[in-house]
Copies of this chain bind each other. A is one copy, B any other.
C-alpha cells in the first residue's frame, strides 16, 4: 500500500512535469515522453489532424447524451456531462440530501443532479452504472452544454478491488 502510494505520487510528478511541458511548448506536438527510473510518461499525437466529413446529425434522439468536453472518457473513467445549459444542483432543495456523494455507487438511469433552466428542473441521470469519484461543479454553479459534472469509475473496477 505504501509502495503503491509512493509510486502513484512519483507518477503524478512525472505527469505534472509533462503537463508543464505541454502547456509551455510552442506549436503542435507529436510526442512528449517523461521518464524517471522505471517510470515514464509518453504522450503522442495522431498523424492526421483533419477530420472527415461528419455523419448527418440533424435529427438525433432528444435523449442524446452529450460528449463531455475537456475530459476524456477511457475504460477506467466515466464522465456524466451536462445535457443542457443551466444551473447545477446536487439536491432537490437546499435542505435535502444530495442525490449522490463521492464514493456512492449509482445505477444506470439513477438521478444524480438537477439542472435548472428557465425555472424548469431537469433531472440528470447516470447513463451507465459506476462509483462516483468526483463531483466537478459546486452546488448552484452555472454549467454549459457538455460540461463534465461527475467522474465515475466503472463498477467492474470497483468490485475487482473488493
Measured CB to CB, the residues of A under 8 A from B are 4, 6-8, 10-15, 17-47
Contact = CB atoms under 8 A, between A and B. Distances in A.
29 contacts: A4-B10, A7-B10, A7-B37, A8-B13, A11-B13, A11-B14, A11-B36, A12-B17, A14-B17, A15-B20, A19-B20, A19-B21, A21-B22, A21-B41, A22-B24, A27-B45, A29-B43, A29-B44, A29-B45, A29-B46, A30-B45, A30-B46, A32-B44, A33-B41, A33-B42, A35-B39, A35-B42, A36-B39, A37-B38
Nearest to A39: B36
Contact of A40 (B7, B12, B15, B35): B35
Identical chains bound together, number:
2
B4 A25 contact: no
A28 B49 CA distance: 12
A51 to B, nearest CB: 14
Nearest to A32: B43
Contacts of A8: 10, 13, 36
B23 A43 contact: no
B15 A17 contact: yes
A7 B37 CA distance: 8
A132 B39 CA distance: 36
Contacts of A29: 43-46
A44 B30 contact: yes
Contacts of A37: 7, 38-39
A15 to B, nearest CB: 4
